[in-house]
Amino acid sequence: MNVDVLVVGAGLAGLHTATLLARAGHQVLLAERRSRLDGAIRTTGIFVRRTLDDFALPPGSLGPPIRRVVLYPPSRRRPVTLVSERDEYRVGDMGALYLDAARTAAAAGVRVLLGTRYEGRGRSGFLLAGPEGPIRVRARFVVGADGARSRVARDLALDRNRHLLTGAEEVFAVEASARPPTFHCVLDPALAPGYLAWVVDDGRHAHVGVAGYADRFPDGMRRALARFSAAAPGLDGVQRPAGAEVERRGGPIPVGGVLGRISCVDGLLVGDAAGAVSPLTAGGLDPCLRLSEHAAAVLDDALRAGRPDPLAHYDGAALRARFRGRLALRQGLARVRTPAAAAAGFAVLRTPPGRAAARRILFGDRSFPVSR
């Protein structure tokens, strides 16, 4: 099979890149190992205001807007509440969003192969394993949209993520109530080492999760989630379902910033594979969409020029330079190893400058810094 571009992975990054390339008139094949796009979801699905402003997401697949964030110290006493005058967050129904994005891609001309694994690079093309057997693909370029531990990155000898958090969460429906939609964040290194535990309750669904450095969980991440879920803030009086009514998610989260070398003459990386996740907040949906647009633009240039030179403009090192502040904050958060240290940080957070800094991080206008 001969195509212009092979895209590996049907997350938002891969689907968006494939759609843009197909709309530009190129032949695109997208391979996804899952047999269903609405299963085995890993992301919490939190979209920030800038993403909602700049990208056309189907409103029926988005939960109610959230303006309120509550930050808790390890003791859970005297939390800091921040309320924005604007709608800041909405939680997406990621299964529905993936299906909608796949329909959009197919309508643009992308050939989508589900249940098809990327097996690697051969002498005369790329090897896939589909439901009906092996597939050999000759592609002018390949796009690695295959997650934090990208096999495409390895095959192209590009940079790979080394700094990873791991997360797990439970998602379940909640009954409508008078509770304001709220994002609850608990900063407790004994519970979520190096990151945080959270409850996102938008009045339709509750997301209860923990994330941190895998080797620092004293009794394992799943036990940490069970312990947190039993007494998670913001859900007093909520009837929790059991069994199949609770969706469980989990996976690695790259927080080392955009990787330096994310392209070569044979292709490039997008989304988690490129490290396109905020080092501080671990948010990846806004970066994946913005970097995908940049990726599609340079690939379109290369395909029209008939040579790979434009891919040199897809430079992770140049983007990485704009993340110095967030990388420094990530390093600082990683060093907070005891509840006492986190409590001391909250003393600063309760001051006017501390609250102002938190508002800039949580309600700011910055987005992923892509420019051509």
CB contact burial 192-225 (16+ within 10 A = b; e otherwise) = bbbbbbbbbbbbebbbbbbbbbeeebeeebeebb
**pLDDT average, residue stretch 71-79:** 94
CA-to-CA distance for 343 and 324, rounded, in angstroms?
26
On the question of pLDDT at 327 being above 70, the answer is: yes
3 state SS of 2: strand
Tokens of residue 103, six digits = 């329909």
The model's pTM is 0.94
3 state SS of 152: helix
Report the chain's mean pLDDT, rounded to a whole number: 92
Query: pLDDT by residue (tens digit) across 158-211?
Result: 999 999 999 999 999 998 888 899 999 999 999 999 999 999 999 999 999 999
Q: What is the pLDDT of residue 178?
A: 81
On the question of pLDDT at 120 being above 70, the answer is: yes
Question: Would you say 96 and 204 are in contact if contact means Cβ atoms under 8 Å apart?
Answer: no
Query: pLDDT by residue (tens digit) across 133-167?
Result: 999 999 999 999 999 999 999 999 999 999 999 99
Query: pLDDT by residue (tens digit) across 357-372?
Result: 999 989 987 777 665 4
Domain limits of the chain?
Answer: 2-363
H-helix or E-strand containing 155? helix 151-155
| CATH topology assigned to domain 2-363 | FAD/NAD(P)-binding domain (3.50.50)
Question: Would you say 10 and 34 are in contact if contact means Cβ atoms under 8 Å apart?
Answer: yes
CA-to-CA distance for 233 and 166, rounded, in angstroms?
21
On the question of pLDDT at 4 being above 60, the answer is: yes
* DSSP 8-state code for residue 55: S
**pLDDT average, residue stretch 302-306:** 96
Per-residue DSSP letters for 174-196? Answer: ----SPPPEEEEE--TTTSTTS-
**pLDDT average, residue stretch 222-241:** 89
- Give the rounded distance of the alpha carbon of 361 from its chain centre: 17
